[in-house]
Structure 1
């Protein structure tokens, strides 16, 4: 046996036998396969619809624009599955309208397709469309900024200076549409803002004079807006407001807040109306001793402050009250007479702080109260009351002025 394998003729015969066997085997399988293929039924037909297929426009876009071309169409394909399925999945075909060579005006054109295998039947909906071809025009238009909800800025804040970049845009469309353009705007919502806007990108919108949006090509499509959102402030004086009167036997020595001014924040138009701010009313009728009161500030509507309240030092002293001190009228000319109108009786009460009374028990006879009507003509006049007493006592009267009628 080993000698056979050492013989080259034996090896050649074995190789030839294997080659013949392989050829016979392949021939049998091929014949069998052909018989099987002839036995398979022809593939079935199918119909499938592709929706929202984009439509291209083929035309001289440098000189013309077109309207009336549908943005999308529905394409229905019919054919055998093995051809239909790849087309459906890959979507590697085009639908278009060919406007090359057409002049300006209105035309009825067919929506065409390409790169669909001829074995498939194709139906496009809509099949045709009416288009209008017009001369292309391009113009520059300024961009305006519309700040919406500016009345809803954070309290006390207002719009300041702003910038828009670019200041103008290039708009391309048909000449008839270009002539309709009434305004080019960007909108910036500032609701609730309490800080400036830095380089906010917003789309450019184009409208006709009636406010209808126009479908045109804008270059660039977006603009960048920056705007100052400011919180104006002003420093104003503080007034201490009181109500009521001290109880009997007490006199007000002083009423001082721990600060004279306060910074308030508001819009400019609100600040222009404010000269000072007051505290909430301090009720003097409840005070019988010197004390410090925390008084809230009463701010006008639309104004805010970091200082919400101030400390008010109230100095009071028990006082000696002298009632019904008569008021004399001085300076009447010959032939004149005078009567009191307000108050209607020529008397008033005065008070002397107990710290100044120095232990004396003063009476009405120790004080002179008078009004000077010299050089006054007939009629009603409001005149100040002069109080004179011993040792320049700090005396307070029930009122500072009276109204008299001279006849």
Structure 2
């Protein structure tokens, strides 16, 4: 784009005399010499000083007209574009809400390079919108740039905006807590509580916007907690955000805009013994004489309610067909409700021996899971006291405390009457095999 040059006759008289008239006259003289021998009439015409002056004036006028009408441009213009210039609006922010004002606009500058350079040296370029005397409703407003240099043409994009003016109203809302990046917290830690320094805030804005607000949340970012550890931690400058019922952000003013939170962190844990449980039948004639783990206990981290229900950490070991000593490297699996373990791998050494058998007499049968309102008992002594057959390594059997062997019948689902019920045996050492000498016993169930 080119800047228009105003007419200035005095300016061009000297210019054309030096640059146009004299050179053109010299050219015509050369043409005259060339035509001297070919055209007597043309020679006489060009030798006439008055003719030369007229021709020079005609050419001068044509050249001047071309320049004046921008057919020829003597001044070279440049273009610069300034992006993302801030828009400022002066209005009563406590009384009104203005929508439609862009945060930034672009501005195109057209002019000489030297002028453009000066224009760009301003420390700031502020675009303003004049809302003086505008009432509530929708209006077309022109944007203005006040730091104008007269020799430069300015064009804003956009140059005109549509704004809507609303009354600003206020409402009170309760503040909820939203924990961000909880997954970044050490799995051994638990956030017990988050307390804000205020439970309510004021939201301000246009009435239609406030009606869309379903809740206001304090966004507590766990990532902002430095070196989290059990105890109470204070986080300041927690941002508040308003949402609609679909969790979309609603642009309203919140007073205050930030709150302070007190966060209580704990690390509920419990250390329990590891219980090794062999699964499967060893090779014929073999028994486990020693079953040891390099780690006797494990510490569990989780919710306190879950921890209260755990007394041991059972680990099953597949020994099916095992005929010789062996070392197992086992990965530990976290129980449901447990977030972390103190160890995730253990080593278990199994030592085998020859199997022996021992019968242990006078083991009393107990009942389990009797339905409410009922009671159960064996119909005679033969059905209440049994013999248990124990198989395993002599070394282990010799150390067995027989009083810890439990024989029981599970009466889940049994009603009033006499029933043949399977006998189950539970022994303290899982490296031994326990079996009742009788398969079933007669149990009588009556109403309590």
Q: Which TM-score tier does this pair reach, normalised by the shorter chain?
A: 0.5 to 0.7
Paired residue for 1:206, among 213, 225, 242? 242
Taking a change above 3 Å as real, the CA distance of residues 165 and 250 of structure 1, as seen in their structure-2 partners, is: same
Q: Specify whether residues 87 and 403 from structure 1 end up closer, same or farther in structure 2 by C-alpha distance, changes over 3 A only.
A: same
Mapped partners of 2:298, 2:163: distance in 1: 70
Match of 1:98 among 127, 130, 145: 130
* 1:380 aligned residue (420, 434, 437): 420
Q: Match for residue 399 of structure 1?
A: 436
**1:56 partnered with 2:84:** no
Matches within 5 A, 1:13-32: none
Distance 1:61 1:138 in 2: 13
Q: Gaps (5+ residues) in structure 2? A: 1-13, 19-72, 360-379, 396-416, 426-432, 444-448
Q: Distance in 2 between matches of 1:65 and 1:268?
A: 50
Out of 175, 184, 191, the residue aligned to residue 207 of structure 2 is 175
Determine if the alignment matches structure 1 residue 160 to structure 2 residue 160: no
TM-score, scaled relative to structure 1: 0.56
Task: Indicate how the Cα distance of structure 1 residues 42 and 350 shifts in structure 2: closer, same or farther if over 3 A, else same.
Answer: closer
Of residues 228, 231, 234 in structure 2, which corresponds to 1:195? Answer: 228
Which range moved further: 93-102 or 312-321? 312-321
After superposition, what is the alpha-carbon deviation per residue over 1:304-355, rounded to whole angstroms, capped at 9, x for unaligned? 5436669999998985779xxxxxxxxxxxxxxx9x9xxxxxx997889989
Quick check: 1:279–1:296 contact (8 Å CA) kept in 2?
no
Taking the TM superposition and a 5 Å limit, the aligned residue runs for 1:243-392 are 243=279, 263-268=299-304, 270-271=306-307, 273-281=309-317, 283=319, 300=335, 302=338, 304-306=340-342, 380=420
Aligned 8 A contact 1:384 1:400 in 2? no
Cα drift, residue 91 of structure 1: 5.5
Q: Using the alignment, how far apart are the partners of 2:393 and 2:246 within structure 1?
A: 78
| Contact kept in structure 2, 1:60 and 1:100, CA below 8 Å | no
Distance 1:287 1:233, change over 3 A: farther
Match of 2:277 among 234, 241, 246: 241
Q: Which residue of structure 1 aligns with residue 153 of structure 2? A: 121
Match of 1:368 in 2: none
Give the direction of change, closer, same or farther, for the CA distance of 1:144–1:43 in structure 2 (3 Å limit): same
Query: 2:216 is matched with which residue?
Result: 184
Q: Secondary structure at the match of 2:138?
A: strand
Q: Give deviations 1:159-178, integer Å, cap 9, x for gaps.
A: 32123345444433223322
CA RMSD of aligned residues (A): 5.3
How far residue 139 of structure 1 moved from its aligned partner, in angstroms, is 3.8
What is the aligned partner in structure 1 of residue 143 from structure 2? 111
SS of aligned partner of 2:436: coil
Unpaired segments ≥5 residues, structure 1? 1-34, 323-337, 341-346, 356-376, 386-395
Aligned length in residues = 315
Contact persistence 1:238–1:262 (CA under 8 A): yes
Aligned twin of 2:252: 216
Aligned mates of 2:393, 2:247 — CA distance in 1: 76
